[in-house]
Amino acid sequence: MKVVCIGSGNVATHFSTAIAAAGMELVQVWSQSQEHAEVLADLLGATAISDKANIDLHADLYLIAVKDDAIPEMAALLAGVNGLVLHTSGATDLDVFPAAMKNYGVLYPLQTFSRTKALDFSKVPLCLEAKDETILSTLKNIALQLSPLVYEVNSPQRRILHLAAVFACNFSNHLYAIGQEILEKNQLDFEILRPLILETAEKVQHAFPRDVQTGPAIRHDEQTLLKHKELLTGMPELQVIYETLSKSIKKTV
């Protein structure tokens, strides 16, 4: 199976590495920047290209892992190929592909990737959608070589997943950052908070979050809520966040 990777960012890097590890042959890495393409291509024994005209049009699989607004152009460019063309975006519908294209689909990894942190790809949920059932079946076979966590998700559901991920991942991370900010203002090290953050996430791996909610808001502990409001004096933005989320937690009882 010959694979061309379009893109050289976080998602492209982690996907290409997993693809190579699964025994598929990465033949080309394309990036607007030849230098960036080379970093990834050299790592995996592929050819680095930055000229779109040099993209091999006879590969079996094309993985488009570029910024969302660059996907339509790359999809159009590959309109005539026989290979399977996939994009990897949570916020982009299936119909970004030209209807006349033979084989296309979506392979969306619901995970947060960092260049600096190694990731066990078998822990990455892969959300699949394809032009038709036959292609979906092919796509599923490919996906299962990368991760056992494979889900069928259509375009409207993928938008919802992306939204839920913003709450559960992006917003949670921002709350960690606020925790750090509060600690540092009081000469306390973020280090002390790290085990609690990890345990909070581990707790919901086998339970539902609403069943393990703790803290003053769920206990309707008005005295502590008031004390915390006082501690946040001079930080009006954090007060608003504190009140908004506490109010929402109280309503869940």
Characterize the bridge pairing of strands 84-87 and 104-109: parallel
In the structure encoding, which two tokens stand for residue 207, read together? 């339970």
∠ Cα 84 55 136 (to 5°): 5
User: Is 242 one of the binding residues for a copy of itself (CB under 8 A)?
Assistant: yes
From the list 14-22, 45-53, 136-144, 236-244, the region that binds a copy of itself by CB under 8 A is 236-244
Residue of 57, 70, 76, 212 interacting with a copy of itself (CB under 8 A): 212
126-130 sheet: strands from edge to edge: 47-49, 25-30, 2-6, 61-64, 84-87, 104-109, 126-130, 150-152
The secondary element (H helix, E strand) that includes residue 29 is strand 25-30
CB of 2 to a copy of itself, least distance (A): 29
Nearer to a copy of itself, 57 or 188 (CB): 188
CA separation for the pair 83, 162 (Å, rounded): 27
Residue of 9, 101, 216, 239 interacting with a copy of itself (CB under 8 A): 216
User: Is 153 one of the binding residues for a copy of itself (CB under 8 A)?
Assistant: yes
Q: Exposed/middle/buried for 247, CB within 10 Å: 0-12, 13-18, 19+?
A: exposed
CB of 251 to a copy of itself, least distance (A): 7
User: Is 172 one of the binding residues for a copy of itself (CB under 8 A)?
Assistant: yes
From the list 15-23, 35-43, 58-66, 119-127, the region that binds a copy of itself by CB under 8 A is 119-127
User: Is 133 one of the binding residues for a copy of itself (CB under 8 A)?
Assistant: no
In the structure encoding, which two tokens stand for residue 20, read together? 């190579």
Name residues contacting a copy of itself, limited to 5-64 (CB under 8 A): none
